[in-house]
Chain A
Amino acid sequence: MAPAVSPFLDPGASSSAHSLGILQLKRDHLIPTVLSDASSTEYAEGNVVNTRFGSFTHSSLIGKPWGTQILASVVDTGSRGGRSKKRKREANGEGNAAEDASRSEEPVRSVVKAATTASSGFAHLVPPTPETWTLCLPHRTQVVYTPDYSFIIQKMRLRPGDHIIEAGAGSGSFTHAVARTVFNGYPGLEQPEEKDEQEVNGTTSRKRRRRQQRHGHVYSFEYHKPRAEQLREELVSHGLDPLVTVTNRDVYADGFCVDAENENAPNADVIFLDLPAPWLALKHLTRSPPPPAVVKSIASDTAEPPTTTSAPRPPKPFRSPLNPKTTTRICTFSPCIEQVQKTVAAMRSYGWLDIEMFTMEHKRLEVRRERVGLAEEGLRGANPSPATVQEAVQRLRDVEDRAKVFHGLQKEKQEQIMRRAEAKKRGEQAPAGEGEADGLKKKTEGLPPSKHDRLERAKKESESRALFREGRLVCRTEPEIKTHTSYLVFAMLPVEWTAEDEEKARRKWG
């Protein structure tokens, strides 16, 4: 079932069945789906992704070039309302929580039985990347987000071909990101590269062989068994399982050497610890057996339940999980400063160098046009207060003018009534009303418009305005920011260098 090549590493030209695709509805609203052309018990149209922007049948998603805009289909989502419980169970079994959630909130629609294109609604089909996956993965623990893992990968100098230990796999966002970075070919899938190299580089076969011998690999450790299982399944369905070894283990107690057929493994160049107590794991990350005094002093420093000190195990021969030929780079990811202090102290005791600690400040900015002005009165998304002092003054004048005329009119009316009354009293004919009406019209003509008129006019004018380029272009931090993710501690452990090595080098180089 798993695709031969992971869609994360090479999505191909278009989507295909049994491969992960991501339906992007909005910037932060993405739905991951393993596409399937099999028929479904629930819909006549086969498998369906229901969203609030419409329903999308898998058949409309398979075989489309990546990035295609997909129109929603008309799917009868109403007639299977009674089976929601069963659906839920199935969905959970597939580990497709996002789809399930969107299903349950799907409103009942009119019954139309055909997979025809709906009149409205669309989404984009995008290939999975660690970044899009991070935005839509099923959360199991706290997620290491893109700004953090980008910085970590950069600082740790992770490169294709490296071996990395990741402890505390969690939700797997970091796993995906580093799998992409260390990837330089699948073990046992050499043909394309070989051919390519041959025609391209024309170098000797010896060189090719040598370059292919070390493939990048991720050794992932997770303490929590169900989480480890879930991650394993996820990686299989993403085609990343040849690059990642998931081990369910307590690394504090049992260390990082995987008991695989390869006795060299993990042979790690880079280590990432997302653990509650990284300092307890450091004793396993040395090049030679650590002095017992140091181990003891670090373990006793902690209030941690002594998972490490208790249960004396039969002493195993020491095996370092580190690559003896490269400088080991480490990063620990801890939310609390106390953890950092203990970790750094332990690192110093174990001889790690270049110890640095960082926090990541990441902001997303929203860009919009801010329209201010009296012309915006009654329009949406704008501020109808005066844009300038002049505009404010003009508005005040207008109001005054209107008031003046209004009061004048009132007064006139009063006087007219008085005059009429007086005339009546005197038994004279009332003066002609027409002339007065004319006067009134003349007076209101030059007047600023009433509020009602203004609103009407603004609305009408807005139709002809290019609103998308009006107003002041502004940017500001988005409303929600992550002010603290975790403290990142970086350090290096150089290659072991003994006095004999130095002597040898000195002799050679005089």
Chain B
Amino acid sequence: MLTSCSEHLRPAFRVCCEPQLIAHSNINLGKFGTFNSNQIIDRPYHLTYEFLEQEDAKAQPKLRVVPAAELHAEALGSDHAAPTESKDDDAPAEGGGGVAYDIVGEDGEVIMRNNRLTVDDPSRQTLSMDEIEELKKAGSGSGKDIIEKIMASHLGIEEKTKFSLAKYTLRKSRKYLKRFTVLPLDIPILTEYVTEKEAYRIMELRDDSLGLICSWANVHSGATRRVMTAEDGTSQIGGGRWLVVDDTGGLVTAALAERMGILYPHTEEESSDSEDGNEENLPVEHNDDTPATTTPAASTTPATTATEDTHMPDATTATTADVPNGTSPDQPRAPRKPRQHVSQSSASTNTLTVLHSNNQPNLSHLKYFGFDSGDPTPSHPLYTHLKSLSWLQLLSPTDDPTYFEPEIMPEETLATLKSSKRGNYYRKRRRWERTKRVVDETRLGGFDGLVVASNMEPATILKECVPLVKGGGQVVVYSPNAEPLVQLCDYYSKERRTAYIASQFGQQGQLNGKRKQNGVDEEEDDVEGDDEEDNFPVNPMLLLAPALQTARGRQWQVLPGRTHAFMTSKGGAEGYLFTATRVLPIEGKVEARGLRGGKKRKTGTDTSAPA
């Protein structure tokens, strides 16, 4: 991922996304120009590069790493004795030396210029547009020369206040400086990138909402956990398994996977198998990985890729070599042969189970992390730790053809088949095994949490999914708008719960004390009867402490003497979160204490119950 960013102080920069960084290729940054990827491969992230000035405009463009001090030169100004390495003073006329008062002294001496004399007139810039265009064409370098010329040709540059000059310089730098920064592709960057292009595809999720989702879902690595059997002997509990309903193209799934430590491909040996030879001898100095990479054992592995970006070509090249759907012959490494086949979605702990409404899950954003859900790489952790099933498979597995066991062919018949047909046969068997395993396991429930970011009516999702969450597990529902969640909160309201209990006990023959006392039995049928479903679309007893919240980070500009919140930012969906804890209500009627009317209960329940 590359971010073209000519100024680090900018709130929003233009992001262009390179899903994979390939050696010996050209990267085009639009009007900035084109450069060879070899110039940034193998370098650390977060470095800012600048196109170097070159005599020959036709020559291959060269990059230069811009030191931090130079990036900060403007902001640091004269206020700090920082060892500014920049030779070029981007901010001339730094006069005033830190005096920041808009005051004219007694003797009329101007202590600080103000904008009283500012003339708003385009003619003050003596360079014409054509001339600037000419400069742009001539200059092949960083753009600094253009800025210098423009500034020099501005008639009123001396009249500008310190602040407005800084702003002017900043604006011009942003326009003409050819700088960009290379960033690792991770969830916040991906979110920002998609938000700018097509926010609707991720339900306008923002970073702050994603953070909240991950916290409230209590999602974390369950690598050391075990699945336990519940008291009833059949259902399972825990094991670091989360259930996800994701209409954000896999962004939520990716964010959860990141927190579980299963998002990024294992960097070492798998990549070496599919290596195209380019990255064979990468040094390990700035590897983003464990200290283990410096151990002798690790350094013998040929490829230790430097960056997550550079993993991606590995992953993708690997997938193209593989036969789809887990039937791949795995890595061509001899010692692994005996157990070459790893079943897809076979992990029992630390897993994500995605429920989808189409035949196949839409997890397209996972491709940025080297995982193609339609054609997964067996070496990727998500290959085993990600499971998916459709709503049909969950609710009515027998209606789904893939749930039925394909007929078993005897070995002899198989041997007579053509190899392609035989492959087909095995593929079908494996698909059935996988589907059956995932469906059966999901229906056993006991998930550690449920995360929903869906366009579907939340109550219909929770009705089916909440019972699958273990007691004490967290339920989190995200919605770009408040209304669906307000409705959902209402379905779990205290009043509705009270009415629900009343209706349940009415059915069992026990009457709600209050109603009985007041002798309005006949109306109860209203609540219990046909519109039971309308009144109680979900069982309001199953969730504790439902809450609705929203959070938004507001960005500020911090510059010496010019610190304030940004004047503008993105509007759109606010992003709301519904959170609650799954609980196990006890059988029978429970009376709360400390609530009004609690004492009346006895007289109510003791009255004889009709049949």
Of the listed stretches A345-353, A408-416, A432-440, name the one at the interface; the rest are far from the partner chain: A345-353
B220 touching A510 by the CB < 8 A rule? no
A264 CB within 8 Å of chain B = yes
**Given that A131-B215, A186-B224, A211-B266 are known contacts, is A69 also in contact with B520, CB under 8 Å in the complex?**
no
- A25's nearest neighbour on chain B, judged by CB, is B594
- B240's nearest neighbour on chain A, judged by CB, is A10
A26 touching B472 by the CB < 8 A rule? no
Q: Which of A105-124 contact B (CB under 8 A)?
A: 118-122, 124
A499 to chain B, nearest CB (A): 9
B595 to chain A, nearest CB (A): 9
Q: Kindly list chain B residues whose C-beta atoms are within 8 Å of the C-beta of A210.
A: 268, 290, 292, 297-298
A348 touching B290 by the CB < 8 A rule? no
Beta-carbon contacts of A170-214 to B below 8 Å, as 1s and 0s?
000000010011011110010011001000111010110111011
Q: Which of B79-100 contact A (CB under 8 A)?
A: 79-83
A89 CB within 8 Å of chain B = no
A464 touching B590 by the CB < 8 A rule? no
Residue in contact with B188 in the complex, picked from A54, A154, A365, A469, CB distance below 8 Å: A154
CA distance A393 to B228 in the complex (A): 66
Main secondary structure of the interface of A (DSSP, over half): mixed
Of the listed stretches A251-259, A289-297, A395-403, name the one at the interface; the rest are far from the partner chain: A289-297
A365 touching B549 by the CB < 8 A rule? yes
B396 CB within 8 Å of chain A = no
A159 touching B261 by the CB < 8 A rule? yes
Residue in contact with A353 in the complex, picked from B8, B221, B496, CB distance below 8 Å: B8
Q: Which of B484-531 contact A (CB under 8 A)?
A: 486-487, 489-490, 493, 495-496, 498-499, 514-515, 518, 520, 523, 526-527
B218 touching A361 by the CB < 8 A rule? no
CA distance A364 to B579 in the complex (A): 11
Q: Kindly list chain A residues whose C-beta atoms are within 8 Å of the C-beta of B181.
A: 354
B339 CB within 8 Å of chain A = yes
A151 touching B207 by the CB < 8 A rule? yes
A359 touching B556 by the CB < 8 A rule? yes
**Given that A210-B298, A464-B520, A469-B535 are known contacts, is A501 also in contact with B285, CB under 8 Å in the complex?**
yes
B296 to chain A, nearest CB (A): 12
A213 touching B290 by the CB < 8 A rule? yes
Q: Which of A305-357 contact B (CB under 8 A)?
A: 324-327, 337, 340-341, 344-345, 348-349, 351-357
**Given that A11-B472, A207-B266 are known contacts, is A360 also in contact with B551, CB under 8 Å in the complex?**
yes
Q: Which of B471-486 contact A (CB under 8 A)?
A: 471-474, 482, 486
A14 to chain B, nearest CB (A): 8
Residue in contact with A345 in the complex, picked from B187, B472, B498, B560, CB distance below 8 Å: B560
B72 CB within 8 Å of chain A = yes
Q: Which of B343-366 contact A (CB under 8 A)?
A: 346-349
A181 touching B259 by the CB < 8 A rule? yes
Of the listed stretches A92-100, A423-431, A449-457, A490-498, name the one at the interface; the rest are far from the partner chain: A490-498
B211 touching A150 by the CB < 8 A rule? yes
A151 touching B38 by the CB < 8 A rule? no
Beta-carbon contacts of B193-237 to A below 8 Å, as 1s and 0s?
000000000000001101110111010111111101111000001
Beta-carbon contacts of B115-151 to A below 8 Å, as 1s and 0s?
0000000000000000000000000000000000000
- A54's nearest neighbour on chain B, judged by CB, is B593
A126 touching B544 by the CB < 8 A rule? yes
Q: Which of B159-188 contact A (CB under 8 A)?
A: 181, 184, 186-188
CA distance A119 to B569 in the complex (A): 56
CA distance A368 to B486 in the complex (A): 9
CA distance A294 to B208 in the complex (A): 34
Q: Which of B565-584 contact A (CB under 8 A)?
A: 565, 576, 581-584
Residue in contact with B592 in the complex, picked from A122, A354, A468, CB distance below 8 Å: A122
B601 CB within 8 Å of chain A = yes
CA distance A415 to B82 in the complex (A): 104
B472 touching A468 by the CB < 8 A rule? no
B82 touching A68 by the CB < 8 A rule? no
B554 CB within 8 Å of chain A = yes
A155 CB within 8 Å of chain B = yes
B6 CB within 8 Å of chain A = no
- A11's nearest neighbour on chain B, judged by CB, is B472
B76 CB within 8 Å of chain A = yes
CA distance A205 to B306 in the complex (A): 23
Beta-carbon contacts of B360-402 to A below 8 Å, as 1s and 0s?
0000000000000000000000001000000000000000000
A382 to chain B, nearest CB (A): 12
B487 touching A363 by the CB < 8 A rule? no
B610 CB within 8 Å of chain A = no
B220 touching A24 by the CB < 8 A rule? no
A367 CB within 8 Å of chain B = yes
CA distance A65 to B469 in the complex (A): 13
**Given that A131-B216, A468-B499 are known contacts, is A214 also in contact with B592, CB under 8 Å in the complex?**
no
Report how many residues on chain B are interfacial, defined by Cβ distance under 8 Å.
139
Q: Kindly list chain A residues whose C-beta atoms are within 8 Å of the C-beta of B292.
A: 209-210, 213-214
- B225's nearest neighbour on chain A, judged by CB, is A10
B349 touching A196 by the CB < 8 A rule? yes
B44 touching A495 by the CB < 8 A rule? yes
**Given that A68-B583, A71-B590, A160-B259 are known contacts, is A367 also in contact with B490, CB under 8 Å in the complex?**
yes
B81 touching A297 by the CB < 8 A rule? yes
A153 touching B298 by the CB < 8 A rule? no
- A297's nearest neighbour on chain B, judged by CB, is B81
CA distance A375 to B575 in the complex (A): 36
CA distance A155 to B290 in the complex (A): 21
B105 CB within 8 Å of chain A = no
B27 to chain A, nearest CB (A): 13
Of the listed stretches B63-71, B312-320, B427-435, name the one at the interface; the rest are far from the partner chain: B63-71
B558 CB within 8 Å of chain A = yes
Q: Kindly list chain A residues whose C-beta atoms are within 8 Å of the C-beta of B108.
A: none
B212 touching A495 by the CB < 8 A rule? no
Q: Kindly list chain A residues whose C-beta atoms are within 8 Å of the C-beta of B487.
A: 473
B80 touching A510 by the CB < 8 A rule? no
**Given that A181-B220, A357-B558, A365-B548 are known contacts, is A126 also in contact with B594, CB under 8 Å in the complex?**
no
A32 CB within 8 Å of chain B = no
Residue in contact with B489 in the complex, picked from A293, A327, A367, CB distance below 8 Å: A367
Q: Kindly list chain A residues whose C-beta atoms are within 8 Å of the C-beta of B237.
A: 13, 65
- B297's nearest neighbour on chain A, judged by CB, is A206
A129 CB within 8 Å of chain B = yes
Interface centre among A67, A118, A475 (most CB of B within 10 A): A67
B50 CB within 8 Å of chain A = no
Residue in contact with B65 in the complex, picked from A327, A357, A369, A502, CB distance below 8 Å: A502
Beta-carbon contacts of B438-460 to A below 8 Å, as 1s and 0s?
00000000000000000000000
B260 CB within 8 Å of chain A = yes
List the 7 closest A-B pairs by CB distance, nearest first: A67-B471, A154-B211, A66-B472, A121-B593, A160-B261, A351-B68, A509-B38
Given contacts A5-B224, A53-B594, 18 further A-B contacts (CB under 8 A): A10-B240, A13-B229, A72-B593, A147-B212, A150-B216, A151-B208, A152-B211, A153-B211, A153-B215, A157-B187, A181-B259, A200-B347, A207-B269, A213-B292, A325-B284, A351-B69, A365-B482, A468-B495
A residues at B contact (CB < 8 Å)? 5, 9-14, 24, 26-27, 52-54, 65-69, 71-72, 118-122, 124-127, 129-131, 146-147, 149-155, 157, 159-161, 177, 180-181, 183-186, 189, 192-193, 196, 200-202, 204, 206-207, 209-211, 213-214, 264, 267, 291, 293-294, 297-298, 324-327, 337, 340-341, 344-345, 348-349, 351-369, 460, 463-464, 466-469, 473-475, 487-489, 492, 494-495, 497, 501-502, 504-506, 508-510
Name 20 interchain pairs, CB-CB below 8 A, sorted by A: A9-B225, A53-B594, A54-B593, A66-B472, A67-B581, A129-B218, A131-B218, A150-B211, A159-B258, A200-B347, A202-B336, A210-B268, A294-B82, A325-B289, A348-B76, A359-B556, A364-B548, A369-B490, A464-B523, A505-B41
